[in-house]
Amino acid sequence: QKEVEQDPGPLSVPEGAIVSLNCTYSNSAFQYFMWYRQYSRKGPELLMYTYSSGNKEDGRFTAQVDKSSKYISLFIRDSQPSDSATYLCATSLMDTGRRALTFGSGTRLQVQP
């Protein structure tokens, strides 16, 4: 079993739709949660990060963490064709000597104009 599971997609939605991207993780010691966006043949770009359960909003993006069920989500409102990319969830421990990010495999999103 992978430590972080993520549906690879592809997920295709019309422009303006609300997008829901999800990950589950198995290690309850993970304390730090991130979403990255990666365009084709580019480096991952940090979108959101959070330490705690609950919601965190930034513009059209909302990150949601439920530590009790080990479930993390990213919602994109009013999706745009420019949002078409692969979205990676990532987690890590808060151990100062172990800062490795554990990534999901990524969900490929296509927003149709």
Partner 1 sequence: NAGVMQNPRHLVRRRGQEARLRCSPMKGHSHVYWYRQLPEEGLKFMVYLQKENIIDESGMPKERFSAEFPKEGPSILRIQQVVRGDSAAYFCASSPGVVDTQYFGPGTRLTVL
**Chain residues that interact with partner 1, rule: CB under 8 A:** 6, 32, 34, 36, 41-46, 49, 88, 90, 94, 96-106
CB nearer partner 1, residue 67 or residue 108: 108
CB 85 within 8 A of CB 37: yes
Q: Which residues fall within 8 angstroms of residue 53, CB to CB, at 6 or more apart?
A: 65, 66, 67, 68
Distance CA 108, CA 10 (A): 5
Q: How far is the CB of 14 from partner 1 (least distance, A)?
A: 27
Q: State in angstroms the smallest separation of the CB of 6 from partner 1.
A: 8
Nearer to partner 1, 84 or 91 (CB): 91
CB of 78 to partner 1, least distance (A): 25
Closest to partner 1 by CB, 69 or 98: 98
